[in-house]
């Protein structure tokens, strides 16, 4: 049982317990010393045996007075009037206790049945690309998940840079969807710092009509694109043309942020007609042109790819191979 369920049922428990406690012990207390005095005089009467009647309340004693002539004769007129007043008082108190108990039960019914206001707990974004190995990279789509309780409504979900305040475009799903994936283009809008080996602190945010939930900040790393472009067309200043292959690492399609002596190694992998082919490559940003021995042995109808080796963490690097004979 949740805490809210227990608290919702507490008024009903108090109401029921109070009502039965009144029936069990409270009625006999009404009248106090007056009732005690009347009953005491009746008990010392040798002609009466009140032990068989147990605990006496004003109403119970009043019925005995009406039904038993011996008891009636033992109660004088003044005591009978007092007894009638006590009976009226007992009935009035019983009605009040019953109304209060019913009210408490009604409160519990209302607490159980009323629509709960929406509450949301949001998790930090996660990278859906398995190559990221648990890191967040700004070249990948990011997944935002949350949990919600209460009346569903449309919410706004977005990513936010903790340091700069930059935000991604807002999505507007229903609260009970609980999952939104942001594209790399949307993620890029919160990655304000674009430096080599830099990072941005971002968080998930969910807003609704009466509240806002934010996740803990998490690092979003600046990703590196490595592209092997095959069979490019070279046009020299002399007018000569030729075919070249280039291997280049970029951030936002630029090499400007890298060190001057930045070099990379990678392997071109594919298949020939008979076997697997792995061709080691090395390129520096000062000269991106590469020589690829055995390239003509590849079967271009089969998949091919580029495996990054050094110098950066493979988890933040995304590779692609473009071009064909």
Q: What is the pLDDT along the chain (325 residues), one digit of tens a residue?
A: 455 565 566 666 776 776 666 666 655 555 555 555 555 555 555 555 555 555 655 556 556 556 555 555 555 566 556 556 666 666 666 777 777 777 777 776 766 666 678 899 999 999 999 999 999 999 999 999 999 988 889 999 999 999 999 999 999 999 999 999 999 999 999 999 999 999 999 999 999 999 999 999 999 999 999 999 999 887 766 666 788 999 999 999 999 999 999 999 999 999 998 899 999 999 998 899 999 998 989 999 999 999 999 999 999 999 999 998 8
Task: Give the pLDDT score at 40.
Answer: 55
Structural domain boundaries in the chain: 3-113, 119-221, 224-322
3-state SS string over the chain? CCHHHHHHHHHHHHHHHHHHHHHHHHHHHCCHHHHHHHHHHHHCCCCCCCHHHCCCCHHHHHHHHHHCHHHHHHCCHHHHHHHHHHHHHHHHHHHHHHHHHHHHHHHHHHHHHCCCCCEEEECCCEECCHHHCCCCECCCCEEEEEEEECCCCECEEEEEECCCCCECCCECCEHHHCEEEECHHHHHCCCCCCCCCCEEEEEEEEEECCEEEECCCEEEECCEEEEEEEEEEEECCCCCEEEEEEEEEEECCECCCCCCCCEEEEEEEEECCCCEEEEEEEEECCECEECCCCHHHCCCCCCCEEEEEECCCHHHEEEEEECCC
- Fold exhibited by the domain 119-221: Immunoglobulin-like (2.60.40)
Q: What is the pLDDT of residue 150?
A: 85
- Chain-wide mean pLDDT for the chain? 82
Q: What per-residue confidence (pLDDT) applies to 1?
A: 47
């Amino acid at each position: 049982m949740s805490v809210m369920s227990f608290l919702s049922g507490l008024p009903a428990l108090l109401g029921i317990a109070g009502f039965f406690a009144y029936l069990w012990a409270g009625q006999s207390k009404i009248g106090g010393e007056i009732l005690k005095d009347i009953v005491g005089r009746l008990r010392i009467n040798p002609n009466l045996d009140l032990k068989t009647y147990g605990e006496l309340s004003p109403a119970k004693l009043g019925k005995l007075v009406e039904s038993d002539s011996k008891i009636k004769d033992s109660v004088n007129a003044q005591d009978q009037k007092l007894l009638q007043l006590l009976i009226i008082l007992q009935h009035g108190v019983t009605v009040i206790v019953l109304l209060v108990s019913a009210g408490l039960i009604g409160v519990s019914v209302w607490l159980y049945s009323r629509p709960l206001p929406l509450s949301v707990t949001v998790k930090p974004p996660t990278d859906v690309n398995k190559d990221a190995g648990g890191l967040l990279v700004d070249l990948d789509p990011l997944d935002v998940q949350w949990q919600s309780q209460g009346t569903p409504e449309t919410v706004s979900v977005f990513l936010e840079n903790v340091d700069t305040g930059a935000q991604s475009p807002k999505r507007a799903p229903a609260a009970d969807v609980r999952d939104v994936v942001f594209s790399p283009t949307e993620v890029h809008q919160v990655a304000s710092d674009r430096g080599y080996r830099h990072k941005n602190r971002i968080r998930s945010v969910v807003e609704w009509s009466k509240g806002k939930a934010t996740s803990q900040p998490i690092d979003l790393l600046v990703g590196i694109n490595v592209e092997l472009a095959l069979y490019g067309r070279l046009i020299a200043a002399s007018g000569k043309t030729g075919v070249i292959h280039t291997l280049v690492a970029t951030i936002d399609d630029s090499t400007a942020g890298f060190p001057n002596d930045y070099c990379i190694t990678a392997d071109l992998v594919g298949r020939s007609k008979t076997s697997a082919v792995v061709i080691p490559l090395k390129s520096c940003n000062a000269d991106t042109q590469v020589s690829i021995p055995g390239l003509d042995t590849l079967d271009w109808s089969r998949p091919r790819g580029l495996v990054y080796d050094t110098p950066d963490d493979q988890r933040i690097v995304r590779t692609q191979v473009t071009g064909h004979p």
